[in-house]
Structure 1
Amino acid sequence: MSEPIALVFEDREYTAARLEALAGGLAETLARRGVRAGRRVALMSSNRPEFVVAVRAIWRLGAAVVLLSPAWKRAEAEHALAVTEPSHAVGDHPVLAELMPMLHLDEPIEPSDAPAPGFPDPDPAADAVLVFSSGTTGMPKAVRHTHASFGAAVAHWRDALGLTGGDRIQITTPPSHILGLLNIVTALETGAWMRLHRRFDLDRMLHHIETDRITVEMAVAPIALAMASHPKLESYDLSSLRYIMWGATPVTASVAETVTRRTGVGWVPAYGASELPVIACNPLEGARLDSAGRPVPGVELRVVSLETGEPVGPGETGEIQARSPSLMAGYLPAEATAEAFDDGWYRTGDVGHVDADGWVRLTDRSKEMIKVRGFQVAPAEVEAVLHGHPAVADCAVFGVPDEADGEAVVAAVQAAREVDPGELVALVGERLASYKRPSRVVLVPEIPRLPSGKVLRRVLKERHGRASDH
């Protein structure tokens, strides 16, 4: 009997053994270049099988993968490298190649079935992967996951989704984002069949649900909205799907209900963070659209008062905090870690409540983070770019609800002289990833601040909080 296919990309097919042989060959190449256990290796790559091979190879050597988004511009990549100090780089991206010597993933990888020489299994307490999150405030921070914490997250995700070796999934989200990597590793470790897409294309995604008989589809808000508004959605046979998972932003019930009405497929909302990848998930039978689900087994939740910091009772609103073996080891820079914890509990920065039956409802963000299509945007990062324009005397960036993207970025600018808002939007677009670009710039006489200097973003949201013009 032929070995089952583990990964498909365009017209290429890979068995698990083939992926491991390629990982072995790449590990030998990286070892010759000086990669050792405990080192960090930057990986900036498009969606492709070699991304998967590179992650396995780096882990095989006991090194940690630093995931850089291929959407980033040079300044963002420079910041990420300064924070994580990787010794080596692998990828296919010109930005990374400009910043440090990079082993290009287009170079042929010679498979090797030989066991990795002198490389025992990585220490569970050693760092496995560093992904970028903006945490509570300021510039993006690197989230450190050990082999133990990421392994726990994979087990939680597999169990929450009920994944087995008989499932078939596809990956359209970037693998540099925690959800993309989590889906890839979970599929490989479960023995599920997986198609990797070079980029997101709705018709291609729907076509492959039909032709590949996909059983579990992963969606974030823009994918759900695109499905709901697709004029020919009914022309695709989606009957193989067990459910569609909605993650990264709270569910827009009207959008989810439209998709279900038109396709007959139900949703399973879930909730996680870069720092703690799987926090809550709905049951596969009886999922609700008004809740992120219940904490997955292995995750403890509590809610604390926003005023006193003391735990509150079931149904009472406050900040959601969590403990779990899947929780990150900490941030880089390390001094950012302390404020993310409260007596051993991770502060999610999400406001909501947990009822007596354990159902989680998210109502607000106590953090100032803006979530665009599931990606985190730090206001401080966009503000730093705007402050670099000579016409900007002061500015503040905030998020407003947006049906397509979850939230949209809006910049309030106090101008020192006449300036075209479009010029400011373009400046951010040149310096930062496209999802961080403001949907609009509003010119204001002054930025409201507390005597301490802290921006009153809530005031700005109330004054200028309508959704974007697009």
Structure 2
Amino acid sequence: MTEAVPVAGVGALDASATLAFEGGEYSGADIDALVAGLAETLAARGVRDGARVALMSSNRPEFVLAVRAIWQLCAAVVLISPAWKRDEVAHALAVTAPTHALGDQSVLAELMPMLSLDEPIEPARGHRRPLAPDADALLVFSSGTTGLPKAVRHTHGSFTAAVEHWRRALDFTAADRIQVLTPPSHILGLLNIELALRSGAWVRLHPRFELERMLRCIEADRITVEMAVAPIALALAAHPALETYDLSSLRYIMWGATPVAVGVAETVTRRTGIGWMPAYGASEVPVIACNPVCGARLDSVGRPVPGVDVRIVSLESGMPVETGHTGEIEVRSASRMAGYLPAAATEDAIRDGWYRTGDVGYLDPDGWLFVTDRAKEMIKVRGFQVAPAEIEAVLHGHPLVADCAVFGVPDPADGEAVVAAVATTAPVTTTELTTLVADRLATYKRVRRVVFVDQIPRLPSGKVLRRRLEERYGRTSDE
């Protein structure tokens, strides 16, 4: 059964925690003082209990300070990706209705009054207010299969439970040292930052992913826990001078967001001696399963972490199936989201307290979880969920596009790549269509390949037969 997790909220910051960025470091006391100062500024601008505050920021220490300042005011933070463009940001604001905003992106400032994170923050003496476990803490965005991104609501209780589950899964302590190269606006980035700060550990935040800098920092900072998504793993395996770096401080490399490419993982281990630890989660339930620190295997996402219940249900009836049988993966946990915005989307996602992941898999007799397919149609690019409907809506805006359907194909670097099948009323170039999407949506949603078809296959109900398109055009993106 799931377990209750005590919530300390902002007060969970351990005094011995250290946040490093570029050439500087922030101690726990530094963070506390700057958070208090920023909270005073936000309060003076009218942020109150229960408010929602949009945050659209690049990777920088002020992002961390902003999240914690919003929490200190008992408000909720709406995390908006800095990669998003105007239409995407406008949709996020419409869904979550924040009353205030701060960040460093001009697109947000164009849509609502925004406090710039480039403004100096004056330290102050603040009081850590107790936070209600059932109060909203953050809203992150997750794409569905039939519409634009939904906001995932996490309370202080659910997010704190996720941090504690992650701490146990990684066997993480104050002695560990970690670096964050993924966007903190993504649930995994924020989860890793908070894991370190609440554990009293040392964490380096990078402005962006650069392989050489990552390797140099592992060596110089004596990083003990490294996180990798598929592009990072592929870059490591292909690095011509990987053996020249001293990576001996690493206890393991965690692989998440996409299925493990076994050949890539084995290549890195052979060249460095460092093993991998696959894990599995979602924005809605950030930590579901993880391999053990010792004895990890590459063919499974691991066993459900303590405090998380996993069951497999029939794709037809929704009833639990026997061990070893394949079906949809459902999860019950204190770390489960409170629901979606729009709220109507929650009804189909949670059934009798169980979150329906949309992933297909099975549990073996020893409790190992295997993910074999996805019932949902979202495309997972570098760990980000991409809704086909969102890209289709942009393509349908072209006057010569009669119909279209978007699907994913395997990609060794990104996990999956986006392919668009398009029927037109007159000749259109591939570049014209890919540029249309690139101008409207984030980079990770770009269309990698366009296939022109006479007709999009559909059921009489109008539902796209994506499987038929995948079978015909679904070769890997580099073939």
How big is each residue's C-alpha offset from its partner over 1:293-325, in whole Å with a ceiling of 9 and x where there is no partner? 000001001101112221101110000000000
d(CA) in 1 for partners of 2:317, 2:156: 35
Structure 2 match to 1:264: 273
1:49 aligns with 2:69: no
Structure 1 match to 2:92: 80
Runs ≥4 in structure 1, deviation > 4 angstroms?
A: none
| 1:371–1:407 CA contact under 8 A, matched in 2 | yes
How big is each residue's C-alpha offset from its partner over 1:227-249, in whole Å with a ceiling of 9 and x where there is no partner? 00011111110000000000001
Q: CA deviation at 1:39?
A: 0.4
How big is each residue's C-alpha offset from its partner over 1:184-226, in whole Å with a ceiling of 9 and x where there is no partner? 0011000110000000000000000000000000000000000
Q: CA deviation at 1:463?
A: 0.5
Structure 1 match to 2:435: 426
d(CA) in 2 for partners of 1:182, 1:413: 39
| 1:135–1:340 CA contact under 8 A, matched in 2 | no
Select which of 150, 153, 157 maps to 1:144.
153
Give the root-mean-square deviation of aligned CA atoms. 1.0
| Unaligned residue ranges in structure 2 (runs of 5+) | 1-14
Structure 1 match to 2:251: 242
Alignment of 1:146-165 (within 5 A): 146-165=155-174
Alignment partner of 1:381: what SS? Answer: helix
Alignment of 1:253-332 (within 5 A): 253-332=262-341
**Matched AA of 1:171:** V
Q: CA deviation at 1:5?
A: 5.8
Alignment partner of 1:273: what SS? Answer: coil
Structure 1 match to 2:109: 97
d(CA) in 2 for partners of 1:208, 1:20: 26
1:9 aligns with 2:9: no
Select which of 373, 378, 384 maps to 2:387.
378
Alignment partner of 1:203: what SS? Answer: helix
d(CA) in 2 for partners of 1:299, 1:252: 26
Alignment partner of 1:139: what SS? Answer: coil
d(CA) in 2 for partners of 1:47, 1:445: 44
Structure 1 match to 2:118: 106
Q: CA deviation at 1:136?
A: 4.5
| Unaligned residue ranges in structure 1 (runs of 5+) | none
| 1:136–1:340 CA contact under 8 A, matched in 2 | no
| 2:325–2:363 CA contact under 8 A, matched in 1 | yes
| 1:5–1:13 CA contact under 8 A, matched in 2 | no
Structure 1 match to 2:8: none
Select which of 196, 221, 234 maps to 1:187.
196
| 2:17–2:199 CA contact under 8 A, matched in 1 | no
Structure 1 match to 2:10: none
d(CA) in 2 for partners of 1:15, 1:46: 21
**Matched AA of 1:361:** F
Structure 2 match to 1:59: 71
| 2:381–2:415 CA contact under 8 A, matched in 1 | yes
d(CA) in 2 for partners of 1:413, 1:287: 43
d(CA) in 2 for partners of 1:421, 1:415: 12
| 1:133–1:143 CA contact under 8 A, matched in 2 | yes
**Matched AA of 2:446:** R
Select which of 451, 457, 467 maps to 1:442.
451
Alignment partner of 1:349: what SS? Answer: strand
